[in-house]
Amino acid sequence: MKRKKFFKLTPLLIAVTFACSTLLTACTLTKPTQKTTKTKTTVAKKEKPLPKDPNPTNIPVLMYHSIAYEKGNDLRIPQKIFREQMDIIKHDGFTPITLDELYSHFNDEVKLPPKPIVITLDDGYKDNYENALPVLKEFGFKATVFVITCQTDDSTDYMTSKQLKEMQANGIDIECHTVTHPHLKDLSYDKQLVELRDSKAKLEKMLNKKINYIAYPYGSYNDDTVKLVQNLGYKMAFTTNEGQANKTQGMFTLDRMYISNANDVAYFQRQINGEIK
């Protein structure tokens, strides 16, 4: 009886053994799945840099002298004509800028407003104070006067130090045009040094500010001139070479556009818009 019972239980044992073996194999072959959690990375916000213009444009730098009438003298622009020209600048959408703004654009690629233009007046004539300043104030325009320092407080045709200070107080930048207005290229190195250094020092003392820019009298300069203005701490220098200014000309040999009373206002409009070569 016992032997017979043993044989009846054997199939059951075989079945249980097979099931356990299968389960064990499945557990061994199946790898547990681990849930991965992504870690968020916080990126610090960068400060916005000043607007940059990677392609500096040609910029008209106008060269005036006297704002008064004198028959047959093309250097002198009557106040009425000067005002008409300022009105064209406004009407055509130009924005007068300072030399500091021009320098930042050329040197640091700081973006300028649309259609920038620079207004400069050479020599420091008294009529710049009497005739140009009221018009510039009327339009709210920025401008620069390059001053011959030996004439200041020494000639009735040129501005006094008091007038120069008042010009500066009204947003007109005062910069250097040498001591005696010589042809610099005809002078020795030492004499050029005196012209460029002493005029700068006089204006800095008078106006209590740094003088950074100069216009060469008659547009006259040579290699010594360029070396000296750099060594003396000027940032830019201007010639009388006709054309719009671009930094590829060199920061110490920049072009300007001569404004002559021989030309009418229609010519002036074409000139500032780059239509005259």
pLDDT of residue 130: 98
Region 268-274 average pLDDT: 96
pTM score of the predicted model: 0.81
Whether the per-residue pLDDT at 83 is higher than 80: the answer is yes
Taking a C-beta distance cutoff of 8 angstroms, is the pair 157, 199 a contact?
no
Domain-wise residue ranges, the chain: 61-272
CA nearest 89: which of 138, 150, 45, 153? 138
CA nearest 176: which of 132, 233, 260, 134? 233
DSSP code, position 92? T
| Cα gap 56→177, rounded to integer Å | 26
- pLDDT tens-place string over residues 193-217: 999 999 999 999 999 999 999 999 9
Whether the per-residue pLDDT at 247 is higher than 50: the answer is yes
Work out the pLDDT band at 11, boundaries 50, 70, 90. Answer: very low
| Cα gap 106→59, rounded to integer Å | 10
Whether the per-residue pLDDT at 6 is higher than 80: the answer is no
Give the homologous superfamily in CATH for domain 61-272. Glycoside hydrolase/deacetylase (3.20.20.370)
